[in-house]
Structure 1
Amino acid sequence: MAPRPRKDGNKDLAGLNLYRKTDKRNGKTYYTYRDPVSGKSFGLGTNKEEAIKEAVAAIHATVRHQPALVDRVKAPEESKLFSAWLVEYRELYAARGLSASSQRNVGMRINRLDKVFGGIGIREISTMDVAKYLKGLTKEGKAPMARAMRSLLRDVFLEAMAEGWCTDNPVDKTKAAAVTIKRGRLTLDLWKAAHAEAKQPWLKRAMELALITGQRREDIASMLFKDVYDDHLHVVQSKTGARLRINTDLRLEVIDMSLDSVIKSCRDRVLSPHLVHHHRTISRAKAGQKIVLDTISKEFAAARDRGAEALGIDLGDTPPTFHEMRSLAARLHAAEGRNPQALLGHKSAKMTDMYRDSRGAEWIDVA
């Protein structure tokens, strides 16, 4: 439907979203600004010149203007798009030699940034732009993602400053989103109950390896018999690239198991290069094949739920996942006098302390 024609008395205000109205009671003329986006109207009083200034200021504040072509031609360095810098940043990040999984995860995050800021000049991105984006993620319940994107954005701008693409970092003045830890911790009692309820032999072996070595699900699934030599299990962590030599004499007294005994249990009648493998052919999975990650998570969750039911406990809305065995391993090894930081492959003690925090899932003994 065509818009209603503007009254002749308002034609001198065209393009400013301003309207005038005369009060018949006192004869005064009042000016009103109508926001073209929200449709809301705002009174601006009786002074025409002041009303026009206010309207112009509002328009400039709500509309991002693309730099004029003449300015872009005269000063091309100042109008380089953020997307152009991301092309170079990808190469710089790849040169750091991080693991394939890290490269993949960061690559997906860079794609997100490209969609949001790619069409904007890198020097035009303000702290408000960044804060608005991060706040939007937090409101969507993605506080951990907001923290990760803030960290990446900060690094992106630091590298851009080093290359002369911009002169300041708009991320520095933003505030990192507060993250509420939701996932429950795994207790030893629940681990034992889930282990007893594990129906597949490979799941029992995977749980035992995870608890004794403290390694991630991806690294447990990738362990090979050929990695066991010189009385050590050699692990190259997929996430960080950390190279660990874990002595096969390593033992957890609380479950009365050693790494050596678990590795021997992994050997069965099926010939396989993998410590954790299918012991019989099921559908597409052939005997001896590696267990896919989703299957590990799914089968552990099922065993965990059966174990919780046997114990008569309610796991709530955020039950512990397979990854929580990494935290339980850190706590158990520390209780037996070992250094969990070295075992988990952490560079900082602060990160290990986070894993050692039971988040109230365990009792604290008081002398």
Structure 2
Amino acid sequence: MAPRPRNPGSKDLPPNLYKKKDSRSGVTYFTYRDPVSGRVFGLGKDKEAAIREAMAANFADTVRPTLTERIIETKQPAARPFGGWIEEYRLIYKERGLAASSVRTALMRLTRLDAEFGKTDIRDVSTMVIANYLGGLAKEGKAQMARAMRSLLRDVFMEAMAAGWTDVNPVEVTKAARVTIKRERLTLDLWKEIYKEAKQPWLKRAMELAVLTGQRREDIASMVFKDEHDGYLHVVQSKTKARLRISTSIRLASLGLELGAVIKQCRDRVLSQHLVHHSRTVSRAKAGSPIMLDTISKEFSSARKRAAARLGLDLGKTPPTFHEMRSLAARLHAAEGRDPQMLLGHRSARMTDLYRDSRGAEWIDVA
């Protein structure tokens, strides 16, 4: 089969060898197209080496049969398997000093990537392969997962390039999946109704702390009494490691709550170091022990369902979770003249604006 007509920019190249310039980096890459099977092979950035390999393939050079062997249909073991690099990357990721929960999530995602591409040579994981994988996740309704996987894959290949495993990052030119946020916002009125339905005292305290401090579920569960001193509640956020000192005099007039008073209410007849704790022994959970994260979510969900049933509300398929109190806190404090960005521990105002967005759940008063 005769090779395709040459482009003007490829006149000095042997047949079947092509070059392409990356519009972002300005780097030129070379590829070889097998005239028989139509398969395309990346040859990197070295022009002279690419010409040698292309000529060897074209004329079946027995001295340098490197590319010829790659064209043979018999599948050869990957010289640089993606799974081998994943093992290296795991060690790199663990040394970044991130939160344990972040590391655990990343390692689970890396396991999925290993199962998907592990046996493939890392240099054969092309942009099309990545785009098809991410597109498949998006079509399954997992757009958020697709975005997370794209971000992780991009970093995986960046580190691989730095280590010399590959010359290109195929993820760079892919597009992030568009995510439509479905979870309903928590309104102040609904918060009050859920609060009424909270049967456990610890759940009431957890809800009060969440709406007053705007902290995540993990940080609420890990708060201890010794964190309160010198008129402040000291919080080191588990996700971002942001160090906050929240004045115990901070209050929400809309709920009649003050942080210092809520912390005092957390003390009961049971000796415990945790603000939110079991007040009696339940199954394997001893009195005074902290509340498990799943238990917090489960009991909040139960109280929410009871409140909705009592009021005859339909909260849809994605009702507000415990985490939505972080958004409610941002909106309530902003309405009372406080800067929610510092309270939530955000580095950018843009992120805080996302939390302040009620997504149409609240009425807008027009004077």
The offset of 1:259, in angstroms, is 0.6
2:161 aligned with 1:164: no
- The answer to whether the 8 A contact 1:212-1:329 is kept is yes
The offset of 1:88, in angstroms, is 2.0
**What is the rounded CA distance, in whole Å, between the counterparts of 1:345 and 1:254 in structure 2?**
22
SS of alignment partner, residue 235 of structure 1 = strand
What do residues 152-194 of structure 1 show as CA deviations (whole Å, max 9, x unaligned)? 1011111222222222110111111111111111000000011
The offset of 1:56, in angstroms, is 5.2
Task: Tell me the equivalent position of 1:147.
Answer: 147
Amino acid at match of 1:148: A
**What is the rounded CA distance, in whole Å, between the counterparts of 1:304 and 1:142 in structure 2?**
26
Task: Tell me the equivalent position of 1:260.
Answer: 260
2:107 aligned with 1:107: yes
SS of alignment partner, residue 255 of structure 1 = coil
Task: Tell me the equivalent position of 1:282.
Answer: 282
Amino acid at match of 1:208: E
1:65-214 correspondence runs (5 A)? 71=66, 79-214=79-214
The offset of 1:362, in angstroms, is 0.5
Unaligned runs of at least 5 residues, structure 2 = 1-34, 41-63, 71-77
Unaligned runs of at least 5 residues, structure 1 = 1-54, 62-68
Task: Tell me the equivalent position of 2:231.
Answer: 231
Task: Tell me the equivalent position of 1:65.
Answer: none
1:243-258 correspondence runs (5 A)? 243-258=243-258
The offset of 1:204, in angstroms, is 0.3
Amino acid at match of 2:286: K
Aligned length: 303
User: CA 1:89 to 1:209, structure 2 compared with 1: closer, same or farther past 3 Å?
Assistant: same
**What is the rounded CA distance, in whole Å, between the counterparts of 2:110 and 2:192 in structure 1?**
41
Q: Which has the higher helix share?
A: 1
Moved more, 161-170 or 137-146: 161-170
SS of alignment partner, residue 360 of structure 1 = coil
Amino acid at match of 1:83: G
State percent identity of aligned pairs.
69
The offset of 1:70, in angstroms, is 7.1
**What is the rounded CA distance, in whole Å, between the counterparts of 1:242 and 1:112 in structure 2?**
30
The offset of 1:103, in angstroms, is 0.8
**What is the rounded CA distance, in whole Å, between the counterparts of 1:70 and 1:349 in structure 2?**
58
Task: Tell me the equivalent position of 1:334.
Answer: 334
The offset of 1:206, in angstroms, is 0.3
With structure 2 as the length reference, what TM-score do the two structures score? 0.78
2:269 aligned with 1:272: no
Amino acid at match of 1:344: L
**What is the rounded CA distance, in whole Å, between the counterparts of 1:104 and 1:189 in structure 2?**
36
Task: Tell me the equivalent position of 2:309.
Answer: 309
RMSD (Å), alpha carbons: 2.2
**What is the rounded CA distance, in whole Å, between the counterparts of 1:192 and 1:109 in structure 2?**
38
Amino acid at match of 2:365: D
- The answer to whether the 8 A contact 1:79-1:123 is kept is no
**What is the rounded CA distance, in whole Å, between the counterparts of 2:341 and 2:97 in structure 1?**
23
Considering only CA atoms, is the larger Rg found in Structure 1 or Structure 2? Answer: 1
- The answer to whether the 8 A contact 1:193-1:310 is kept is no
2:251 aligned with 1:217: no
SS of alignment partner, residue 146 of structure 2 = helix
